């Protein structure tokens, strides 16, 4: 690990351009076997600032070899020794907080202060997984008289992890932990759009874990597909979009083996606002829930659909607009920036096309949506857009944009509003805003989503199962459910014989 002088004037040079980034295979930092590397762009300027190994199937096979070789020894270590490795890893993450936050700001475009926060919020995950793993028990089941039935678990072996682009360091730190602590070894594929912090974290895994326990590869869809289709990878944890999730389920099946696949996918999350709310608090909640100052709204959990009762509708829209005016859009690694660029020009084009479609389909663009003033020419900046008068038949009202675009719907009739909330195939998260307890819980119960907040939004609480309903996912993370999902479960049945005659035989006087 390179030591970095914190007093620097050019973070791009210091944290990225002057550094080497390699993959981790079998405890060694390596290049792709082909020697190929792909350019890494800084979304704040559009400039090439580094490169990362461009792996192919041969590299994935080498990573799976290493993980398979290391697995029996890792499982044999026992949970306390595995926790000790995780504790060492935690210390290294802390020591590298500034470096990792800066890399994500430069490579991903998220504001650096938010990325420091991403490192800090890993803390409950380290302690939480250790506590769950220590308290993991089996069951004794009274299924029949005279027999003993008990459960036991075993790790799957080699696990594949594929992550999304929007919180790279956070995913690379937290997502492997439940699979590792249960005795699996890992092949993790970094996002091809935001690769560098995952590779830097690979260096920390190399220091903290035995060789081969964690392997990190970088590349695009071909590399992900090689992980998914390998017969030796029995369990896959995926975070990404619905189309890729569907493809992964299909490709996993085409490998000819039954694989256990968990999917954390997209959302078009509704925030439902009743007329009795404290307006100021609800508006702050709507903006906070968009994750604009964390990742430009590029979050699966963002409340990108806000359904506001008509009695407070105009005041709500006006207050959101005036509060959004206070945000400064700019270079992600400058301290004064509130909102950074989106991840790439391709993604900026996609978001801008949604903004155009909103105008064409009749929504009112209240503010934003253009290019902010004073930002670097090549950067992928979009002034946070606020749309009013949005309806479910508009693309901005029903499709995940994954960017700085908030769509506000107006409602009067409760049942019609609920039909709109539940009228999509997506069902990741939602929030309900009212001071009436009965209304809050009745509505939370009626909403088809995996994670529902009342008078709050977007926050995760380690230990509570996170995941999507409907097409937003399969399985639950961040909870004991996830820990158990990395273990195969087995029931052992013991037929107990007649103890009386066994005793008589055993204790009979010897001849
Ligand atoms: P994506 O689906 O484009 O890519 C995700 C990962 O899959 C990347 O690492 C990519 O390289 C890899 N990949 C692409 N094609 C593949 C293939 N054929 N086989 C295997 N791997 C393949 O998603 P993204 O653009 O990185 O992230 C945005 C999406 O992720 C949004 O839809 C967002 O809602 C979702 N997301 C969900 C959660 C959640 O927890 N539910 C969290 C973050 C992001």
The C-alpha angle 187, 192, 195, rounded to 5 degrees, equals 75
41, 100: one domain: yes
134, 50: one domain: yes
Distance of CA 497 to the CA centre of its chain: 51
309, 214: one domain: no
371, 423: one domain: yes
In this model, does residue 348 exceed pLDDT 70? Answer: yes
217, 320: one domain: no
Q: How confident is the model at residue 6 (pLDDT cuts 50, 70, 90)?
A: very low
In this model, does residue 243 exceed pLDDT 90? Answer: yes
- Per cent of the chain over pLDDT 90 is 95
- What are the phi and psi torsion angles at 237 (to 5°)? -115, 120
Residue 504 falls inside a structural domain: no
Q: What is the mean pLDDT of the chain?
A: 96
Determine if ligand 1 sits within 6 Å of the CB of residue 22.
no
85-106 pLDDT, tens digit per residue, is 999 999 999 999 999 999 999 9
**pLDDT at residue 146 in the model:** 86
481-506 pLDDT, tens digit per residue, is 999 999 999 999 999 888 888 899 99
User: Would you please indicate which residues are annotated as catalytic (active-site) residues?
Assistant: 264, 300
256, 283: one domain: no
137-153 pLDDT, tens digit per residue, is 999 999 998 899 999 99
Mean pLDDT of 180-195: 98
Q: Ligand 1 pocket test: pick from 160, 240, 252 the residue with the most ligand atoms within 8 Å of its Cβ.
A: 240
Determine if ligand 1 sits within 6 Å of the CB of residue 170.
no
Determine if ligand 1 sits within 6 Å of the CB of residue 244.
yes
- Its domain, for residue 345, covers 270-454
Q: How confident is the model at residue 3 (pLDDT cuts 50, 70, 90)?
A: very low
316-330 pLDDT, tens digit per residue, is 999 999 999 999 999
Residue 511 falls inside a structural domain: no
Largest Cα separation within the chain, whole Å, is 102
Centre of ligand 1 from the C-alpha of residue 386, in Å: 26
**pLDDT at residue 268 in the model:** 98
199, 248: one domain: yes
Centre of ligand 1 from the C-alpha of residue 161, in Å: 11
210, 293: one domain: no
36, 76: one domain: yes
Determine if ligand 1 sits within 6 Å of the CB of residue 346.
no
**Residue 487: both structure tokens together:** 């273990």
**pLDDT at residue 230 in the model:** 98
Mean pLDDT of 45-61: 98
The DSSP annotation for 275-340 comes to: TTS-HHHHHHHHHHHTTHHHHTT--TT---EEEEEGGGHHHHHHHHHHHHTTPPB--TTSTT-SB-
217, 275: one domain: no
270-315 pLDDT, tens digit per residue, is 999 999 999 999 999 999 999 999 999 999 999 999 999 999 999 9
**Number of domains composing the chain:** 2
Residue 47 falls inside a structural domain: yes
Residue 464 falls inside a structural domain: no
Determine if ligand 1 sits within 6 Å of the CB of residue 189.
yes
Q: How confident is the model at residue 510 (pLDDT cuts 50, 70, 90)?
A: confident
* Alpha carbon distance 437, 445 (integer Å): 12
Residue 380 falls inside a structural domain: yes
In this model, does residue 1 exceed pLDDT 60? Answer: no
Give the CA distances from residue 12 to residues 6, 49, 222, 488, in Å, rounded to whole numbers and listed in that order.
Answer: 13, 7, 29, 45
494: Cβ–Cβ under 8 A, 6 or more apart, which residues? 147, 148, 149, 150
Bridge partners, 162 (sequence order): 189, 238
Q: CATH number, domain at 303?
A: 3.40.309.10
422-436 pLDDT, tens digit per residue, is 999 999 999 999 999
Residue 508 falls inside a structural domain: no
**pLDDT at residue 2 in the model:** 45
Centre of ligand 1 from the C-alpha of residue 238, in Å: 7
Q: CATH number, domain at 136?
A: 3.40.605.10
306, 418: one domain: yes
484, 432: one domain: no
Mean pLDDT of 26-48: 98
Determine if ligand 1 sits within 6 Å of the CB of residue 218.
no
Residue 128 falls inside a structural domain: yes
Residue 368 falls inside a structural domain: yes
Q: Ligand 1 pocket test: pick from 38, 60, 164 the residue with the most ligand atoms within 8 Å of its Cβ.
A: 164
């Amino acid at each position: 690990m390179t030591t970095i002088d914190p007093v620097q004037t050019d973070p791009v040079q210091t944290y990225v351009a002057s550094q080497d980034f390699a993959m981790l295979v079998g405890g060694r930092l390596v290049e792709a076997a082909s020697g190929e590397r792909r350019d890494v762009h800084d979304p704040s300027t559009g400039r090439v600032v580094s490169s990362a190994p461009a792996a192919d199937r041969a590299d994935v096979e080498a990573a799976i070899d290493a993980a398979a070789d290391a697995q029996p020894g890792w499982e044999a270590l026992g949970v306390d020794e595995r926790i000790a490795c995780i504790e060492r890893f935690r210390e290294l993450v802390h020591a590298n907080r500034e470096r990792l936050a800066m890399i994500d700001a430069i490579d991903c475009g998220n504001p650096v202060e938010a990325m420091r926060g991403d490192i800090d919020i890993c803390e409950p995950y380290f302690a939480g997984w250790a506590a769950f793993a220590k308290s993991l028990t089996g069951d004794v089941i009274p299924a029949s008289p005279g027999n003993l039935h008990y459960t036991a678990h075993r790790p799957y072996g080699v696990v594949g992890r594929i992550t999304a682009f929007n919180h790279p360091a956070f995913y690379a730190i937290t997502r492997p932990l439940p699979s590792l602590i249960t005795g699996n070894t890992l092949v993790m594929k970094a996002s091809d759009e935001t690769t560098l912090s995952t590779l830097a974290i690979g260096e920390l895994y190399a220091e903290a874990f035995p060789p081969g326990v964690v392997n990190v590869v970088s590349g695009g869809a071909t590399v992900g597909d090689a992980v998914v289709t390998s017969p030796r990878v029995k369990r896959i944890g995926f975070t990404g979009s619905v189309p890729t999730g569907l493809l992964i389920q299909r490709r996993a099946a085409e490998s000819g083996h039954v694989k256990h696949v968990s999917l954390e996918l997209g959302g078009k999350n509704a925030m439902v606002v009743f007329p009795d709310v404290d307006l100021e608090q609800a508006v702050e909640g709507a903006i906070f829930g968009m994750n604009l100052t964390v990742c430009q709204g590029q979050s699966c959990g963002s409340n990108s659909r806000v359904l506001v009762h008509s009695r407070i509708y105009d005041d709500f829209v006006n207050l959101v607009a005036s509060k959004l005016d206070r945000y400064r859009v700019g270079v992600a690694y400058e301290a004064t920036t509130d909102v950074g660029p989106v991840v790439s020009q391709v993604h900026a084009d996609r978001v801008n096309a949604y903004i155009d479609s909103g105008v064409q389909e009749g929504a009112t663009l209240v503010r934003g949506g253009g290019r902010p003033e004073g930002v670097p020419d090549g950067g992928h900046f979009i002034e946070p857009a606020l749309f009013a008068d949005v309806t479910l038949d508009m693309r901005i009202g029903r499709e995940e944009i994954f960017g700085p675009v908030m769509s506000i719907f107006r409602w009067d009739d409760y049942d019609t509003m609920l039909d709109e909330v539940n009228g999509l195939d997506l069902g990741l998260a939602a929030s309900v805003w009212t001071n009436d307890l009965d209304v809050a819980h009745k509505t939370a119960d009626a909403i088809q989503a995996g994670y529902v907040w009342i008078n709050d939004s977007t926050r995760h609480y380690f230990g509570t199962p996170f995941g999507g309903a409907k097409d937003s996912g399969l399985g639950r993370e961040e909870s004991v459910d996830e820990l158990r999902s990395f273990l195969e479960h087995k029931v052992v049945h013991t037929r107990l014989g007649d103890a009386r005659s066994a005793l008589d035989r055993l204790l009979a006087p010897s001849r």
